[in-house]
Amino acid sequence: MSKKGGCGKLPPSFIQLKEDLGLQDIWRHRHSRERDYTFLSKRHLSWSRIDMVWGTKLITAQVVSIKILPRLHSDHAPIEISMEDKRYSKGEYRWRLNNMLLKEPRDQKRYREALSEYFQLNKEEDTDITSIWDASKAYIRGHFIQQNSRKNRDKRDKQKELEERITALEEKIKINPKDKESTFNLEVVKRQIESLQLEEIGKKMTYIRQQNFENANKIGKWLARKINKRKQQHYIDKIQEDNDTYLDWKEIENQFVNYYRKLYTEDNIPKEKVTQYLGKQNIKKISESQRERLNKKIELDEIERAIQRLPSNKAPGPDGLTSTYYKTFHDILCSPLQRVMNSILEGGNVPQTWEKANIVLIPQKNTDNVKVSNYRPISLTNVDYKIFSSILGDRLKSVLAERIHEDQCGFLPGRQQKENIRIILNSIEYYEKNRQKEVAFLFLDAEKAFDSVNWFCMLEILSEMDIGFFFMNAIKKIYSQQSARIIINGQLSDTIEVKKGTRQGCPLSPLLFILTAEILLDVIRKNEDLKGLRTKNNSYKIRAYADDIVCIIEEPSRQIMSWLEAFESFGEIAGIKINREKTKILTKNTSQTQKEEIQNKTGIEVVKKIKYLGIELTVSNAQLEKNNYDKKWKEMKKKLKTWETLPTSLLGKIAIIKMKVLAEMLFLFRNLPILRNKKILSEWQREINKFIWGRKRARIKFKYMKDDIQRGGLGVPDLQLYYDAAALEWVKEWATLKKTRLLALEGQDLYKGWHAYLWRRKGFKERNFSNHYLRKALLLTWEKYKPRLLRKTPLWLSPLELEHKREIPRERWLTYKQLLKIDKSGTNLKSYEEIKQIEPSITWLNYWQIRECFKVDNQIGFETSNTVWDKVLKLETRIIKVLYQQLLIWETEEVYVKENMILWARECGHTIMLEEWERYWQKRIKYTYSTVLKESWYKIFYRWYITPVKLAKFNKGKMGDECWKCRKMKGDFFHMWWGCKKIKSFWRSIKKEMEIILQKKLVFKPVYFLLGLTDFFTDLNNEKLFIYMISAARLVIARTWKTSEVPSLEQWTLKLLDIQSMDILTQIISQDNHAGMKTDWSKLSIYLKEKRNWNI
In this predicted structure, what is the pLDDT of residue 364? Answer: 84
In this predicted structure, what is the pLDDT of residue 212? Answer: 46
Per-residue pLDDT band for 679 (boundaries 50, 70, 90) equals confident
Residue that wins the pLDDT comparison between 214 and 924: 924
Query: Is it the case that residue 1071 has pLDDT exceeding 60?
Result: no
Contacts of 121 (CB under 8 A, 6+ apart): none
In this predicted structure, what is the pLDDT of residue 614? Answer: 92
DSSP state letters, 118-147: HHHHS-TTTS-HHHHHHHHHHHHHHHHHHH
pTM of the model: 0.89
Query: Is it the case that residue 580 has pLDDT exceeding 60?
Result: yes
In this predicted structure, what is the pLDDT of residue 875? Answer: 92
In this predicted structure, what is the pLDDT of residue 368? Answer: 75
Query: Is it the case that residue 772 has pLDDT exceeding 70?
Result: yes
What is the Cβ-side half-sphere exposure of residue 419, based on CA atoms within 13 angstroms? 22
In this predicted structure, what is the pLDDT of residue 655? Answer: 86
Query: Is it the case that residue 327 has pLDDT exceeding 80?
Result: yes
Per-residue pLDDT band for 959 (boundaries 50, 70, 90) equals confident
Query: What sign results for the dihedral spanned by CA atoms 733, 736, 741, 747?
Result: positive
In this predicted structure, what is the pLDDT of residue 216? Answer: 39
Q: How much is the mean pLDDT over the chain?
A: 88
DSSP state letters, 1-40: -EEETTEEE--HHHHHHHHHHT-EEHHHHH-TT----SEE
Q: Answer for the pair 79, 69: CB distance below 8 angstroms, yes or no.
A: yes
Per-residue pLDDT band for 1092 (boundaries 50, 70, 90) equals low
In this predicted structure, what is the pLDDT of residue 823? Answer: 85
Query: Is it the case that residue 705 has pLDDT exceeding 60?
Result: yes
In this predicted structure, what is the pLDDT of residue 737? Answer: 92
User: What percent of the chain clears pLDDT 70, i.e. is strictly above it?
Assistant: 93
For 317-334, what is the mean pLDDT? 95
Query: Is it the case that residue 2 has pLDDT exceeding 50?
Result: no
- pLDDT, tens digit (0-9, with 9 covering 90-100), for 422-459: 999 999 999 999 999 999 999 999 999 999 999 999 99
Query: Angle formed by the axes of helices 469-478 and 330-345, to 10°?
Result: 100
Per-residue pLDDT band for 202 (boundaries 50, 70, 90) equals low
What is the Cβ-side half-sphere exposure of residue 322, based on CA atoms within 13 angstroms? 19
Lowest mean pLDDT among 287-301, 386-400, 834-848, 1067-1081: 1067-1081
In this predicted structure, what is the pLDDT of residue 294? Answer: 96
For 557-561, what is the mean pLDDT? 94
- pLDDT, tens digit (0-9, with 9 covering 90-100), for 329-360: 999 999 999 999 999 999 999 999 999 999 99
- Distance set, CA 735 to CA 630, 726, 1014 (Å): 31, 15, 48
d(CA 359, CA 261): 12
Query: Nearest 5°: CA angle at 785, between 781 and 790?
Result: 130
d(CA 353, CA 551): 41
Query: Is it the case that residue 221 has pLDDT exceeding 60?
Result: no
- pLDDT, tens digit (0-9, with 9 covering 90-100), for 590-638: 999 999 999 999 999 999 999 999 999 999 999 999 999 999 999 999 8
d(CA 813, CA 850): 11
d(CA 729, CA 740): 16
- pLDDT, tens digit (0-9, with 9 covering 90-100), for 497-521: 999 999 998 999 999 999 999 999 9
Largest CA distance in the chain: 108
| CA distance from start to end of the chain | 53
Per-residue pLDDT band for 223 (boundaries 50, 70, 90) equals very low
In this predicted structure, what is the pLDDT of residue 687? Answer: 94
Q: Where are the domains of the chain?
A: 2-83, 257-295+347-617, 621-721, 737-873, 897-1092
Lowest mean pLDDT among 1-5, 102-106, 1030-1034: 1-5
Query: Is it the case that residue 217 has pLDDT exceeding 50?
Result: no
In this predicted structure, what is the pLDDT of residue 998? Answer: 94
Per-residue pLDDT band for 205 (boundaries 50, 70, 90) equals low
In this predicted structure, what is the pLDDT of residue 872? Answer: 96
- pLDDT, tens digit (0-9, with 9 covering 90-100), for 117-149: 999 998 877 789 999 999 999 999 999 999 999
Query: Is it the case that residue 1076 has pLDDT exceeding 50?
Result: no
- pLDDT, tens digit (0-9, with 9 covering 90-100), for 51-65: 899 988 878 888 888
d(CA 190, CA 195): 9
d(CA 345, CA 341): 6
For 179-199, what is the mean pLDDT? 80
Q: Which amino acid is at 1054?
A: L
In this predicted structure, what is the pLDDT of residue 767? Answer: 75
